[in-house]
Structure 1
Amino acid sequence: MYQTDFLVVGSGIAGLTYALKIADKFPGKKVTIITKSREDETNTKYAQGGVAVVNDLEHDSFEKHIEDTLIAGDGLCNEKVVEIVVKEGPARVNEIIEWGTNFDKNAAGNFANGREGGHSEFRVIHHKDVTGKEIERALLEAIHQRSNIEIISHCFVIDLITQHHLGYLVTKSTIGIECYGVYILNQQTKKIEKILSKITLLATGGNGQVYRATTNPVIATGDGVAMVYRAKGKIENMEFIQFHPTALHQPGENPSFLITEAVRGDGGILRNKQGEDFMHKYDPRLSLAPRDIVARAIDSEMKISGTEHVYLDCRHMDLQKFIHHFPNIYEKCKSLGIDITKDMIPVAPAAHYSCGGIKTNEWGQTSISNLYACGECASTGLHGANRLASNSLLEAMVFAHRCYLDAVEKIDQISFKQDIPDWDAGGTTEPKEMILITQSLKELKQVMSDYVGIVRTNTRLARAMRRLDMLHEETEALYAKTVLSPQLCELRNLITVGYLIVKGASFRHESRGLHYNTDYPEKSPLVQNIIL
C-alpha cells in the first residue's frame, strides 16, 4: 500500500501544472504523479498549433475571444466559464513562461501571434509547430526540481476506490460518493496495488483511439472518463467529438500526423480531387471556418468524388517562412516525398479532441468528493458543442490553477481511508489468446468510424449500439476470468467511451456543433447538455 496527500493521474499540461502549484504551496506534503507510459508521452506533447490567449490589447480584446469561443461552441458553452478561462488565461501563460516555456517572438520582441479557424484576431502563441512538446519539456524540468513530487511511470490505473469497494451499494443516485485513491497495475512487477490519497486529480487526456484514424497518441484511451462512469460519477456531452479537418492521409498510420490549422491560418488552401478550392460552397470564412464546418465540408467532398482525402495547397506560400514556422510538418512531408513547393499535401479528417467528458464545476470538482478532473478528460463548459482552435491548452492551465486553489482549502479536512481491501484477483488465469483483445479493438474502431463519425444517422447509431453491446459482453467476460493487462483494461475503457458517445448521440435529437445527424438536420430550440 502506498499513501500520498495529492495524487495526479496523467502527466500532460493539466496534471503537471497542478502538481507544480501544489508542491510549491505545500513543501512538506507528498505529491505523486502516475502515468501509464513514459512521463512525456501525453496528448500535450502532440499539440502543434499553440495557445489562444489575448496578449495584444491594442488589436485584440477579451470580448472578442469570448465571442469567438461562444460562436464555435454553438450555444452550449457555459458563458461564465468562457469568461473565466479567457480572462484568467494571460496570467497562467505567464506562469508557464516563468517555468521555462519558450514561445516564438517577432523582430520587435512581441509574441509572433498566429491565427486559426474561428478566431477573429491573431492571438495564437506558439513554439514553431511543436508547442505542446515545448510546454511538456519545460514543465517536466520544473517538476524534477521539486523534491516532494514523485513521478511513477508505467503504472496503469484500473479503477477509482470508492465506498463500492467497502461493500456499499453505490448507484447514480447515491449521495456523497467519495474517492479514496486508485487501484493500479504496476507494469514492472505485474502486481495490482493500491494507492491511497486524500485528493485525486484526473488529468488522463482524450479518447481518440476509439476511432480508426486519430491524431491522438496510442495512450489516449479514455481511461479517466471510463473510470468515473464506472464509479457512478457524472459524464457530459460525449457525443461532441472533434475531428481535425487536416490530418496527413497515410492509411494505417497510428496516430495520424497532424497538419496544424495554423497552416491554413498562414494561407494554406483546401482543394478537392479536381484541384478546386471548395470551401466557398460551405462557409464564407473559407478554409478558416470552425473545425466542425471544415471537417463536414471535406467529408462531403470526399463522398462526392469517392476519394479518401482532399488536398492542402501550400505551393504558393513562402518556403522559408513555412520552414521557419512549420519545420516538423515540412520534414514529415519531405520524408514522404512530398515537395510542398510542387505537391499538394493529402489530408483527411481524423478524431482529434473530446469536447465532453467528466462533468466538473468552475473549480474542477467532479460529482465525486475529493476527486477533480482537468484537461481534455473534463467537461468544464468551455467548449460547448465544438472547441475553438487552441483553447485546450489554455483551459488546462486555467483549470489546473482552479483545481489547485480549491484543493488547498480542503486538504487538511481530509483523512486517509485505512480499511481499503486489496484487489481480489482470485479465480483468474493468464489470457491464452491476445487475439481476443486485439480483434475486439479493431472491431470497435471500425464500428465507431463507420457509424459514429462526422455524419451520423439514427440507423447507424442503433447499429453501433448493438455491436457495442456484444463487444461489452465479451470483454466483461474476459475481464472476469483472466489476469489483467493494460491492453485488456484499455479495451474495456474504450468500449465504455464508445458506448457513452453513442448514447449521447442517440439522446441528442438535433444537429449542433460537432454532432451532425441527417435525421435531425436542424438545431433544437431546447438547448441542453446530455448528462450520463
Structure 2
Amino acid sequence: MTGYPETVANGGVLTIAASGVADSEVLIVGAGLAGLFLALELAPRPCVVISPAPLGQAASSAWAQGGLAAALDPLDSPDQHASDTVNAGSGLVDPVIARLIAEEGPARVRDLVMLGVPFDRTPDGALALSLEAAHSRPRVARVAGDLAGKAIMDALVAAVAASTHITVIEGVRAVGLLQDSNRRVAGVVLRDSSGTLTTQTARQTVLCTGGTGGLFQVTTNPREARGDAIAMTYEAGALIADVEFVQFHPTAIDIGRDPAPLATEALRGEGATLRNRDGTRFMANYHTLEELAPRDEVARAIHSERAAGRGAFLDCRTAVGTHFPEHFPTVFAACKSAGIDPRFDMIPIAPAAHYHMGGIVADFWGRSTLNGLSVCGECTSTGAHGANRLASNSLLEAVVFSHRIAQHLRDADLETPGPSAATVPASLPHDALQVLRGKMSAKCGVVRDAAGLGELMETIEILREAHGPARPLITAGLMATAALARKESRGGHFRSDFPETGAPERQYLLREFPVTTEEIAPA
C-alpha cells in the first residue's frame, strides 16, 4: 500500500499510479451484509475488507428493520415468492433471477442461523414469519420485530473477528478504481479522514458499497451512501442500468432528523393504518390493497396527502398498542426520543429515499462488465428488483449473490493485473452537497416531471463547473438523465407529465471512450 498526500483542489483531478503487484487476492470494498457474508463465504481464500467505519457501524444493512424474505413456510414455495417478486417489479424483473434468489433464499437463511442470528421463533420452534406489502404469504424472517439488520450484522461482525482469512482495514473510503492498460480493474484508491490517499491493489475487486439515499435530503440511509460505486464504475467504463428507479419508503418517521428513522413495513403487516391529520383513513382512495399496496403506490398516496396539506400518519394504536416496546423496540425508541408514544399517538410520516433498484450491471455470478470487478448488494443491477423492489428482498439478494460470488472466486485462478492508475476527483463541499440533496428530493423524488428534472440537471452542471466531477454529481447526473429519458411511469419512477406505463424496457448507460490509433492498429 502506497500513500500520497491529497492535492486535489478547486475541481482538479489527481491521477494516481500503482505497481502490478497485488496487495491482496480478493479485495472487498464495503462492510455491510453483502461484504461481510462474502468474506466469510470465501474461506479459506484470503481477502481484505475495506470498511469506512468500525465494523457494524454506518452500514445500511444494520438499519434494516423488516428482515429477510424467503419461502420457509410449508404452505409457501419459491415459485410463489418468485411470482410476487416479478409482479412487484412492474415488468422489469428478470424472472430467471427472481427464481434464483427465491430458490436459494431458504438455504441462506439457514446459513445465517448457523452464524448465530437469533431470528424470531414460534412457540413450537419454527421461524416466525411476517407478512409485508405485496407478498402473497408471510415469509419475512425477523428479529425482535424490527431488529433483523442489527442482529444479522452483529452475528457477522463476530464471525469475521474470529476468522483468520479476513483482514479488515477500517476508516478509509474507496474514491477511485485502479485499472491497467487493458482497463482491467486492479484495486482501488482509498481516502482516510485526513485526506491522505493510498492504493490497495488486488487480483479481484468486489464492490459492496450500498446505495444512493444520501443524495436525497430525506432518506433512511446513512448520509455517506451517495452512489460512489456507480460513479466510479461508470467513469471506468462499466455498464449501468435502470438508475432512475429509487424506492421511497412510504413510512419514514417525520421528526426532522437526517437520516430519518424508519417505521418498518411490518407495522402495516400487523394491521397498522394510514390516516391523515383528522384521523381519516385514505389508502382506499388510492389502491384496492390499501395499506398493503406496493411501496411506490403507498409512497405516492402519502406524498399526495401531504402535498394537499392533510398530513400523513401511521396509526398503530389498535394493531400494536401496548405491545409496541417489545414487538418493535427500534421504532418505539425513535418515536419516544421525539416525544411521541406510538401506543397512544399517531406517528407522523413522510416518504424517504430508501433503496436504489438500479446500479452496476451484474451477471448470475456477480461479475460486472469490467474484468477483475464483481459487484454485490444495493450498488448493483442484477434484475432482481426491476422497477420496484419487493419488501425484504434486498437482504435476500445480498446473501444469495455474496454466496454465488464466493463460489465463483473461492478456488478460481485469479489473474494478476499489470501496472495501473486511477483518477480521483475532489470531494464535494458540504454546502454544495446539501444543495444537491435538496434538489434531488424536490425534482427527482416521489413525483417527477421534465421541467423539474431539467432544473436539477442545470444545478448539477453549475455545481460541476464550481467543484469538478465529484462522485455525487456524477451519480446524480446519471439518475437525472435516466429519469428524463424514461417518458413513462413505472414502479418507483413516476412522471406526472407521463403518467401512463409504456413498454417494459430496461435502460442502460455506458460511457463512451475515444478509440486511439494504437487500439485500432493491426497486430
State TM-score, norm by structure 2.
Answer: 0.90
Query: Which of 210, 214, 219 matches 2:215?
Result: 210
RMSD of Structure 2 on Structure 1 (CA): 1.9
After TM superposition, give the deviation of residue 61 of structure 1 in Å: 1.6
1:506 to 463, 481, 484: 484
Structure of higher RCO (CA pairs closer than 8 Å, 6+ residues apart): 2
Query: 2:243 aligned to 216, 235, 238, which one?
Result: 238
CA distance in 1, matches of 2:142, 2:67: 4
Match among 91, 103, 121 for residue 107 of structure 2: 91
For structure 2, the residue ranges without an aligned partner over 5 or more in a row are 3-22, 511-523
Instruction: Supply the AA of the counterpart residue of 1:107.
Output: P
What one-letter code is carried by the residue in structure 2 that aligns with 1:217? P
What displacement does 1:34 show?
0.6
**SS of alignment partner, residue 65 of structure 1:** helix
What's 1:315 paired with?
317
Task: Count matched residues.
Answer: 488
Report the Cα offset of residue 515 of structure 1.
Answer: 0.6
- Counterpart for residue 500 of structure 2: 522
- Residue equivalent to 2:382: 380
Aligned equivalents of 1:381, 1:509: Cα separation in 2: 21
Tell me what 1:14 maps to.
34
Give the structure with the higher percent helix: 1
For residue 501 of structure 2, what is the amino acid of its counterpart? K
Structure-to-structure mapping, 1:211-360, within 5 angstroms: 211-251=216-256, 253-304=257-308, 306=309, 309-360=311-362
Alpha-carbon contact 1:245-1:298 (below 8 Å) kept = yes
The Cα offsets for residues 75-104 of structure 1, whole Å up to 9 and x where unpaired, read as 000110000000011111111111111101
Q: CA deviation at 1:416?
A: 4.4
Over residues 277-328 of structure 1, what are the superposed CA-to-partner deviations in whole Å (9 max), with x where a residue is unaligned? 1000111111011100000011111122x25x41001111243433322012
Report whether the alignment pairs 1:531 with 2:523: no
**8 Å contact from structure 2 (residues 93, 385) kept in 1:** yes
Give the alignment of 1:21-100 within 5 angstroms. Answer: 21-22=41-42, 24-26=43-45, 30-41=46-57, 42-57=59-74, 59-100=75-116
**How many Å apart are 1:461 and its aligned residue?**
1.0
Q: Is the 8 A contact 1:104 1:111 kept in 2?
A: yes
CA contact (8 A) 1:508 1:530 kept: no
Deviations 1:309-348 (Å, cap 9, x if unpaired)?
4100111124343332201211222232212232111011
CA shift for structure 1 position 35: 1.5
CA distance in 1, matches of 2:506, 2:402: 26
State the one-letter code of the partner of 1:513: G
Q: 1:83 to 1:133 in 2, by over 3 A?
A: same
Query: In 1, Cα distance between the equivalents of 2:143 and 2:82?
Result: 24
CA displacement, residues 458-499 of structure 1 (integer Å, 9 cap, x when unaligned): 1111111111111122111xx7xxxxxxxxxxxx22211211
Seen in structure 2, the aligned counterparts of structure 1 residues 424 and 496 have a Cα distance that, compared at 3 Å, is closer
Query: C-alpha deviations, 1:43-82, integer Å up to 9, x for none?
Result: 101101100111012x212121111111110000011000
In structure 2, distance between residues paired with 1:341 and 1:156: 41
Q: Distance in 2 between matches of 1:16 and 1:146?
A: 11
| Partner residue in 2 for 1:183 | 189
Structure 2 residue aligned with 1:473: 465
Kept in 1: contact 2:247–2:355 (CA 8 A): yes
CA distance in 1, matches of 2:377, 2:472: 18
Distance in 2, Cα, partners of 1:332 & 1:508 = 37
In structure 2, what is the Cα distance between the partners aligned to 1:136 and 1:507? 38
Q: Distance in 1 between matches of 2:193 and 2:435?
A: 26
Tell me the percent identity. 39
Which residue of 2 is the match for residue 414 of structure 1?
Answer: 415
Equivalent residue of 2:509, what SS?
Answer: coil
Q: 5+ residue gaps in structure 1? A: 167-175, 480-491
Cα contact 1:292–1:386 (8 A) shared by 2? yes
- Cα distance change, pair 159–424 in 1 and its aligned pair in 2 (3 A): closer
Kindly state the Cα deviation for residue 272 of structure 1 after the two structures are TM-superposed: 1.0
The letter for the 2-side match of 1:49 is: G
User: Paired residue for 1:126?
Assistant: 142
Counterparts of 2:89 and 2:452, CA distance in 1:
25
- Structure 1 counterpart of 2:24, one-letter code: T
Asked if the contact 1:229–1:235 (Cα under 8 Å) also holds between the matched residues in 2, the reply is yes
